[in-house]
Amino acid sequence: MISRSVQWSVFVATQPIDFRKGVHGLVALVAEELSGKPYSGDVYVFRSKRSDRLKLLVFDGSLATKWLEDGGFAWPPVRESTMLVTGAQLAMLIEGLAEWSRVVPKVTRRPTKVA
C-alpha cells in the first residue's frame, strides 16, 4: 500500500515504457532519462504501449502494477517529459476515469496572522 505523505509529488511519464522493466530499471529511467529523483519520496506513474496497463514506482522500493480487463486508461498526449498531477488526479487515473485530467485542484489560501 502506498502511504500518503504531505511532501510527495506525482509525476506521470508520458512516453510508454518497456513493461518488462522492474524496480531497478524504472529507478534508472527516472534518474537518467526523466531527470527525476527516484529516492525523493515522489510517485512516478508509467504507461505501457497498450493503454490498459500502468506501473507506480514509490521511494520505498514499491512497484505496483494495474491493468484493466476492458478498455484502457486515459493517458495524456505522448511527449518528451513528465506531467505533474495531484493526488486526486492520480486516484482518478488509477480507477480508469477518463476525465481525470480536467480535475483542477481548489486553491486554498493560507490563513493570515491575527495580531
Q: Pick the more confident residue, 98 or 73.
A: 73
- The number of folded domains in the chain is 1
Average model confidence (pLDDT) across the chain: 81
Question: Domain of 69?
Answer: 10-102
Residue of 40 and 115 predicted with greater confidence: 40
For residues 75 and 90, what is the distance between their CA atoms, to the nearest angstrom? 11
Q: Is 4 part of a structural domain of the chain? A: no
Query: Which residues are within 8 A (CB) of 30 and not within 5 positions of it... i.e. 6 or more apart?
Result: 36, 37, 38, 44, 57
Q: What is the pLDDT of residue 6?
A: 54
The verdict on residue 113 lying in a domain is no
**10 pLDDT higher than 80:** yes
pLDDT above 70 as % of the chain: 90
Q: What confidence category does residue 7 fall into, taking pLDDT thresholds of 50, 70 and 90? A: low
